[in-house]
Amino acid sequence: MFHKMFRRACLGAALAVAAVGAFAQGAYPGKPVKLMVAAGTASSPDAIARLLANHLGTVWKQSVVVENVPGLGGITGTERGARQPADGYTLVLSTSAGMAVGSSILEKMPYDPVKDFEPIALLMQLPNLLVVHPSVPAKNLQELIAYAKQNPGKLRYGHPGGGTTPHLSAVLLNQSAGIQMEGIPYKASSQMTTDLLAGHYEVLFHNSSVLLPHVQAGAARAMGITSAQRTPQLPDVPTVGEAGKLPGFEVSAWWGLYAPAGTPPAILAKVSADVTAALASPEIKGWIEKQGGQAGSGGPQALREFQAAETRKWRDIVKNAQIKME
């Protein structure tokens, strides 16, 4: 009799624990969620973060609060995200520099991009547009490459810091085409764009959404886009690989959503499913496409594999260019 009662008690306790677990899982999120963005306000990562926060807030019936932590191309904010509690109430939007390139340009990373995070979803990819100031005597990319070879070191390009995709795009063009353009670093991308338009330097890789109005106004000349294929938003602009006869040339800024390592799998699965649905919504997908970007697809494993491939890709390129950040 005692043994039967003991077994019943154990079974009851197990069912109670299961019920509590099921309730906890079903209740997530039971309070506001913080979305830490490793970029400044008014940036592309910030813009998609706020769209995502509004969408998830409606679905979850809880506030999703965006917190911007800029610095070092995304490394500063990503480091802070790694130190947050692994309870599902802090999500981290990190950058290509924070999760793939940083390990090649820093002597020592302040976190492990793989071990310190749980991947949730790739949010978007955004290629760069290559433009030149109208004073440059080149009408297309092949002419630009020929001019650069004839005038080594004369062409200069602006960039918002080592390891950012505008910087890496120019570095890759130097290596792929065998030319020597000199980089000019800027603290603010807005000033970087202003100086190109003013003719203070000659070449710029930057987001197409920023540069397209200036191309249309004749203040800059488009040479190519860094995506693998032409984009629907710029059908007449060839890819850099196509225009420069540089097979395999492809560079995209990208942003992924992560959680601190140790976040419960059930929460990760829910967030990933809800984020994937958000990316397919007309509002967010439409905004991404308007920027000339591509919405992410797939869940945690797809982001994990993509991040690993990007890390491998940039390792040799950064090493050959001897790019370092202290």
**Which numeric CATH code is attached to 33-125+253-321?**
3.40.190.150
Question: What is the model's pLDDT at position 68?
Answer: 96
Question: What is the model's pLDDT at position 11?
Answer: 44
**Which numeric CATH code is attached to 127-243?**
3.40.190.10
Question: What is the model's pLDDT at position 14?
Answer: 42
Q: SS3 for 238?
A: coil
Domain extents for the chain?
A: 33-125+253-321, 127-243
- Smallest CA-to-CA distance from 140 within 252, 236, 248 is with 236
Whole-model pTM: value is: 0.84
Question: How far apart, in whole angstroms, are the C-alpha atoms of residue 253 and residue 73?
Answer: 11
Question: How far apart, in whole angstroms, are the C-alpha atoms of residue 217 and residue 203?
Answer: 17
* Residue-by-residue DSSP string for 62-90: S-EEEEE---GGGHHHHHHHHTS-SSSSE
Question: What is the model's pLDDT at position 161?
Answer: 81
Question: How far apart, in whole angstroms, are the C-alpha atoms of residue 104 and residue 123?
Answer: 23
pLDDT in tens, the chain (326 residues): 434 444 444 444 443 343 344 334 458 999 999 999 999 888 889 999 999 999 999 999 999 999 999 988 889 999 999 999 999 999 999 999 999 999 888 888 999 999 999 999 999 999 999 999 999 999 999 999 999 999 999 999 999 888 889 999 999 999 999 999 999 999 878 899 999 999 999 999 998 888 989 999 999 999 999 999 998 888 999 999 999 999 999 999 999 999 999 999 999 999 999 999 999 999 999 999 988 899 998 899 999 999 999 999 999 888 888 877 65
Question: How far apart, in whole angstroms, are the C-alpha atoms of residue 162 and residue 107?
Answer: 13
Q: Which helix (H) or strand (E) segment is 91 a member of?
A: strand 90-95
Question: What is the model's pLDDT at position 232?
Answer: 85
Question: How far apart, in whole angstroms, are the C-alpha atoms of residue 163 and residue 153?
Answer: 21
Instruction: Report residue 121: phi and psi, to 5°.
Output: -165, 145
Question: How far apart, in whole angstroms, are the C-alpha atoms of residue 45 and residue 184?
Answer: 23
186 with 160: CB under 8 angstroms? Answer: yes
Question: What is the model's pLDDT at position 325?
Answer: 64
Q: Which residue has the tokens 């070449």?
A: 203
Question: How far apart, in whole angstroms, are the C-alpha atoms of residue 317 and residue 105?
Answer: 11
Q: Do domains 33-125+253-321 and 127-243 have the same CATH topology?
A: yes
307 with 113: CB under 8 angstroms? Answer: yes
Burial of 186 by CB count in 10 Å (0-12 exposed, 13-18 middle, 19+ buried)? middle
Question: What is the model's pLDDT at position 6?
Answer: 41
